[in-house]
Chains A and B, each alone.
Chain A
Amino acid sequence: MSEEVPLLRVEGVRKHFALTKGILFTRTLGHIKAVDDVSFDIRAGETLGLVGESGCGKTTTSRMILNLEEPTEGRILLEGEPIHALRGEALSAYRAKVQAVFQDPWSSLNPRMKVGRTIAESLIVNAWGNRARIDERVRELLVQVGLRPEQAQQYPHEFSGGQRQRVALAAALASQPRLIVLDEPVSALDVSIRAQMMNLLKDIQEKDNVAYLLVAHDLATVRHMADHTVVMYLGKIVERAPTAALFEDVRHPYTKALFSAVLVAWPGQAAAEIELKGEVPSPLDPPSGCRFHTRCPNVMPHCSQREPELREVSSGHFVACHLFE
């Protein structure tokens, strides 16, 4: 995308999970192609939205970026350095630079740990400072996410869902990361709380220049948060563009269907509605050629034979579809 080295580069990454049977004499029944040849960049201080329905591989991609999963093929580079080769000190340094906030506020915090301790954890394991300095930093972080400093002494069950998500964000911010993976950070929250959280995330980005990878299924959330948007379907990128350009001019038939399925709050405002027939096919045995051809309203004969390449249709706007060749 750009000449400079991006903060994070995902290069031709694949993740195949082997489906096996038996313990001693394992037999491989097949491979689930959760992520299949995915590439994108995230630049410092910007937000990349990763959109798709369940099973499209967006969560697996984010877990590989967090170094919780190893890619089967391909590389992920942070500031030019491949992350899956990192060990020891270098890995710790990477952990400090890339943090995460997950969807479920009820599962993100250890119920038996005071929230202050959770927030301090990355500082403690990296021997960031003495106890007093860490306590001071925890208080600072709590204030930054809109909580009170003395709440450090409370346990997660004393917090509401929205407050827990703020605590999770404070914990992610503790080590002053360059990138935070936000996996559906607001979808479990109530409407009014959701808006507060989104505003908070934007404020923090403005102040700290941290980059976000926003994994989401809600297009309106992505529109408000992301600078670039990547749309995935069955482990593949189908469309990638600057968010404003994408929302102005949707190209890929799948993205179009996704947009039309978003229920616009204003009655009668919805564009021409495209109802996709059937369900997403199994990633164990994905369709040949273009993976969307089984449900595509614009399907052509050669769609099932040849896989479409991701090609640029206008400046920065990439689409993987035979309609644009």
Chain B
Amino acid sequence: MTPDRKGETVLEVRDLHTHFFLRRGVVKAVDGVSFSLRRGEVLGLVGESGCGKSLTALSLMRLLPKGGAQTIKGEVLLDGENILERTPAEMRQIRGRRISMVLQDPQTSLNPVFTIGDQLREAIVRRKRAPHAEIMKEAVAALRRVEIAAPEQRIGQYPHQMSGGMKQRVVGAIAISGEPGVLIADEPTTALDVTIQLQYLKLLKRLQAETGMAILFITHDFGVVGRMCDRVAVMYAGRIVECGPVRQIFEAPQHPYTRALIASVPKMTGPVGRLTTIEGQPPSLMDLPVGCRFASRCAHVEQRCLDAYPGTVRVGEEHTADCWKVMPA
């Protein structure tokens, strides 16, 4: 990595809309998401279930689930090139090499009937032609890179012979074998135990330092955000409601949703009392309000919140929030 390239934007998402078209209506699961990701940084994408964070990731990979999901608007600029306009064949070339993904469940991410070596080889062969011995050597190197002990033995093993943490490392090795510029990690540690989670996060950080890749880290856990991310984007009902550097989001959250969410997390220090909760339910994605989507659950709601959606307001350096209350008068 050349130092001057650090900080350069590698992925820019502009006004992304991915909707599910069902017989009973349109589910606006991703509805106007914009963010950018820079080389060598980790951007956290946080939100509760159903907020659209995973579908955002799948839209970037152009791997939408079957059943009526479609990206209808927006741009996904990977190194300045809009990959939404690429053909499926070109997209297959892009996936794995320039943008790659790790999913939550290591159990289902690996094929149980092939050895670890076979699955790694498949990823390597896609990229280059070389004699078998050389490819196997590269597969061993890939395992060593994700700190799997005795990779020469592990390469001949099947997924069921490995623990969850080890499997997730293999998944990681496959994902980064093509040296992608962008790695999307969708809750990669949720299925792991805490001590194993820490190992995995540290590994990701080390790999990032080596390769300079940008990571989009999707999670619901603020602890993971604090440990991993440089910046964080908070999603609610299909939109990013606040985005900024981790420290600022934690210390001075501007959007009432972010504030409530952080307050509701049980802490390891401080007084033990009743936890703050957010009452009510998120709005139905089929029938979104015209105004602010959080208005119905917000403690500071006003008439203008119900009348129109607040624009994205810059509240600090690199810190934005979608809220009327932060708008300069």
Using CB atoms and an 8 Å cutoff, list the residues of chain A in contact with chain B.
53-54, 160-161, 190-196, 198-199, 202, 217-221, 223-224, 247, 257-267, 269-270, 273, 275-276, 278-280
Listed by A's residue number, 7 A-B pairs whose Cβ atoms lie within 8 Å are A54-B193, A195-B277, A221-B266, A223-B266, A261-B198, A263-B197, A275-B195
Specify which of B48, B195, B220 lies most central, judged by the most chain A CB atoms within 10 Å of its CB.
Answer: B195
Query: A280 to B193, alpha carbons, bound, how many Å?
Result: 10
Specify which of B163, B165, B193, B246 lies most central, judged by the most chain A CB atoms within 10 Å of its CB.
Answer: B193
Known contacts A53-B194, A190-B48, A279-B165, A266 near B266 by CB under 8 Å:
no
Q: Which 5 A-B pairs have the closest CB atoms?
A: A263-B223, A195-B275, A195-B264, A220-B266, A53-B193
Nearest-Cβ distance from residue A258 to partner chain B, whole angstroms: 6
Query: A273 to B266, alpha carbons, bound, how many Å?
Result: 20
- By beta carbon, the residue of chain A nearest B228 is A263
- From A190, A267, A275, give the contact of B198 (CB < 8 A): A275
CB atoms of A267 and B277 under 8 A apart: no
- From A161, A220, A260, A263, give the contact of B224 (CB < 8 A): A263
Specify which of B199, B247, B266, B277 lies most central, judged by the most chain A CB atoms within 10 Å of its CB.
Answer: B266
- By beta carbon, the residue of chain A nearest B249 is A267
- From B165, B195, B223, give the contact of A257 (CB < 8 A): B195
- By beta carbon, the residue of chain A nearest B191 is A54
CB atoms of A191 and B226 under 8 A apart: no
- By beta carbon, the residue of chain B nearest A257 is B195
- From A54, A220, A278, give the contact of B268 (CB < 8 A): A220
Nearest-Cβ distance from residue B162 to partner chain A, whole angstroms: 10
CB atoms of B195 and A261 under 8 A apart: yes
CB atoms of B246 and A279 under 8 A apart: no
Query: A220 to B278, alpha carbons, bound, how many Å?
Result: 19
The contact size tier of chain B is 35 or more
CB atoms of B194 and A192 under 8 A apart: no
Known contacts A263-B226, A265-B267, A195 near B276 by CB under 8 Å:
yes
- For the complex, is B2 an interface residue (Cβ under 8 Å from A)? no
Known contacts A53-B193, A199-B274, A217-B193, A192 near B223 by CB under 8 Å:
no
B251-270: CB near A (< 8 Å → 1, else 0) gives 00000000011101111110
- From A192, A221, A262, give the contact of B261 (CB < 8 A): A192
Query: A220 to B223, alpha carbons, bound, how many Å?
Result: 11
Nearest-Cβ distance from residue B267 to partner chain A, whole angstroms: 6
- From A198, A257, A261, A263, give the contact of B221 (CB < 8 A): A263
CB atoms of B166 and A279 under 8 A apart: yes
Query: A195 to B263, alpha carbons, bound, how many Å?
Result: 9
CB atoms of B261 and A191 under 8 A apart: yes
Query: A259 to B224, alpha carbons, bound, how many Å?
Result: 14
Residues of A within 8 A of B247 (CB): 267
- From A199, A247, A259, A275, give the contact of B199 (CB < 8 A): A275
Nearest-Cβ distance from residue A220 to partner chain B, whole angstroms: 4
Given contacts A198-B275, A218-B266, 19 further A-B contacts (CB under 8 A): A53-B193, A53-B196, A160-B281, A190-B220, A191-B220, A191-B264, A195-B277, A223-B266, A261-B194, A263-B197, A264-B223, A265-B222, A265-B262, A265-B267, A267-B226, A267-B247, A275-B195, A275-B198, A279-B165
Residues of A within 8 A of B36 (CB): none
- From B194, B195, B268, B274, give the contact of A202 (CB < 8 A): B274
Nearest-Cβ distance from residue B221 to partner chain A, whole angstroms: 7
B156-174: CB near A (< 8 Å → 1, else 0) gives 0000000101100000000
Nearest-Cβ distance from residue A82 to partner chain B, whole angstroms: 33
Nearest-Cβ distance from residue B261 to partner chain A, whole angstroms: 6
- By beta carbon, the residue of chain B nearest A278 is B149
Known contacts A53-B193, A265-B226, A267-B226, A192 near B268 by CB under 8 Å:
no
Residues of B within 8 A of A195 (CB): 264-266, 275-277
- By beta carbon, the residue of chain A nearest B49 is A190
- From A192, A223, A258, give the contact of B195 (CB < 8 A): A258
- For the complex, is B250 an interface residue (Cβ under 8 Å from A)? yes
CB atoms of B261 and A220 under 8 A apart: no
Residues of A within 8 A of B193 (CB): 53-54, 217, 280
CB atoms of A279 and B274 under 8 A apart: no
Nearest-Cβ distance from residue A51 to partner chain B, whole angstroms: 10
Nearest-Cβ distance from residue A54 to partner chain B, whole angstroms: 5
